């Protein structure tokens, strides 16, 4: 019983911290993009607009929930829940610190890939059940995009798995700490770049936010959604961003550890709790997401698939081969 209570409390802590971060990521995004465009961003609600996410939440919660007359009602209603649930489950296998993770799964990385492939269904079904051309095209686009980039993502992660010799996320961090550089991003620089690009496409973010390209498709699969169901999709997208940032920090940047050559020069840094290093790495990745959104224009859809199939996947295979040779020579 005590065990159960303990797990329950841990889950609640992780969920509330991540959701708090998600809320304030929307604020950070508006602020940073505002600054990038020489505006102030939200300023009205609270000091420097700090209460803006709460105001947004209250507003969206009390709006009318509209279901189109010709929609498949049941599927239309569960689609956002599918997206959100299959993104939130990923948090259960993420090691936030040496001893803080919800489930120490032997196949943590595969679990994340599996859940990522399931959350596509929410988007396809949202597009199909809305019974609208724009939604439908957005859903189809998103599905083909996510399926194509999942291969590149998997290949980039396969290099990490090969070098670490484990699918357990904690073991990946620990074996990473033993290497010379302390991060896999240096020997696997190709894989790292492929991973970052694929992560952007996988979460449907700019410059690959084709499913929601407003100049072509109104709002893609989100067109018919309003109020709380729209907010669920929005939440799902931001949680997915965080999951990708966690994955990047764990698989390529050393998770909660810092490289050994740094702690040899500055030994007092070892006293800093691991969760802080982890948070810094995650924040940098999230900042990159926002920075790219403020900087780069959107790709055309054929360019998107071209990059995925003709550039990223061959690069991913090349990375895998290089790592295999390194591993073979170091044995």
Partner 1 sequence: MIYLIFIYFCISFLGISHMALTRKNPVHGVLWLLLLFLHVAVVYLFLNAEFLGMVQVIVYAGAILVMFLFTIFFLDIKIMPKERRIAKLWEGRLVIGLSFLAVMVLVFSSISPTYKGKHTISYVESVGNTRIIGEILFNEYGLGVLLLGLILLVPMISVVILGRRKA
Give residues in contact with partner 1 (CB under 8 A). Answer: 75, 105-107, 110-111, 113-114, 116-118, 120-121, 124-125, 128, 136, 140, 143-144, 147, 150, 167
Rg (CA), the chain: 20
Q: How far is the CB of 36 from partner 1 (least distance, A)?
A: 36
Q: How far is the CB of 75 from partner 1 (least distance, A)?
A: 8
Q: Are 204 and 145 in contact (CB under 8 A)?
A: yes
| Bond into 207 cis (ω within 30) | yes
Q: How far is the CB of 308 from partner 1 (least distance, A)?
A: 15
Burial 172-205 (b: 16+ CB within 10 A, else e): bbbbbbebeebbbbebbebbbbbbbbbbbbbbbb
Q: How far is the CB of 127 from partner 1 (least distance, A)?
A: 9
Q: Are 84 and 239 in contact (CB under 8 A)?
A: yes
Name 100's bridge partners. 97
Q: How far is the CB of 158 from partner 1 (least distance, A)?
A: 12
Q: Are 222 and 212 in contact (CB under 8 A)?
A: yes
How far is residue 20's CA from residue 25's CA, in Å, rounded to a whole number? 9
How far is residue 114's CA from residue 109's CA, in Å, rounded to a whole number? 9
Closer Cβ to partner 1, 142 or 176, answer by number? 142
How far is residue 179's CA from residue 95's CA, in Å, rounded to a whole number? 19
Between helix 169-178 and helix 108-129 the angle, nearest 10°, is: 130
Closer Cβ to partner 1, 110 or 294, answer by number? 110
Q: How far is the CB of 95 from partner 1 (least distance, A)?
A: 17
Closer Cβ to partner 1, 153 or 213, answer by number? 153
Q: How far is the CB of 143 from partner 1 (least distance, A)?
A: 6
Closer Cβ to partner 1, 42 or 80, answer by number? 80
Closer Cβ to partner 1, 43 or 105, answer by number? 105
Closer Cβ to partner 1, 49 or 211, answer by number? 211
Closer Cβ to partner 1, 74 or 268, answer by number? 74
């Amino acid at each position: 019983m005590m065990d159960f209570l303990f797990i329950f409390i841990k889950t609640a802590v992780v969920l509330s911290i991540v959701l708090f971060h998600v809320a304030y990521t929307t604020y950070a995004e508006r602020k940073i993009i505002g600054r990038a465009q020489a505006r102030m961003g939200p300023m009205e609600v609270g000091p420097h607009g700090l209460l803006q996410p709460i105001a947004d939440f209250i507003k969206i919660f009390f709006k009318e929930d509209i279901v189109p007359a010709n929609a498949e009602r049941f599927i239309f209603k569960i689609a956002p829940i599918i997206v959100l649930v299959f993104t939130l489950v990923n948090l259960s296998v993420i090691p936030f610190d040496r001893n803080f993770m919800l489930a120490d799964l032997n196949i943590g990385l595969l679990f994340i890939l599996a859940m990522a492939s399931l959350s596509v269904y929410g988007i396809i079904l949202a597009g199909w059940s809305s019974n609208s051309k724009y939604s439908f095209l957005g859903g189809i686009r998103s599905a083909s995009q996510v399926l194509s980039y999942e291969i590149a993502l998997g290949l980039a992660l396969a290099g990490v798995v090969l070098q670490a010799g484990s699918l357990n996320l904690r073991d990946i961090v620990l074996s990473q700490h033993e290497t010379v550089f302390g991060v896999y991003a240096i020997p696997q620089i190709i894989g790292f770049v492929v991973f970052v690009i694929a992560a952007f496409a996988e979460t449907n973010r700019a410059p690959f936010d084709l499913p929601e390209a407003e100049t072509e498709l109104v709002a893609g699969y989100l067109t018919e959604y309003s109020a709380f169901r729209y907010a669920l999709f929005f939440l799902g997208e931001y949680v997915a961003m965080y999951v990708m940032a966690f994955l990047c920090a764990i698989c390529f940047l050393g998770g909660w550890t810092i490289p050994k050559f740094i702690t040899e020069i500055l030994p007092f840094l070892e006293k800093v709790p691991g969760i802080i290093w982890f948070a810094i790495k995650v924040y940098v990745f999230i900042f990159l997401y926002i920075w790219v959104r403020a900087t780069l224009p959107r790709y055309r859809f054929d360019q998107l698939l071209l990059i995925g199939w003709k550039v990223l996947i061959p690069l991913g295979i090349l990375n895998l081969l290089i790592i295999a040779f390194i591993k073979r020579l170091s044995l």
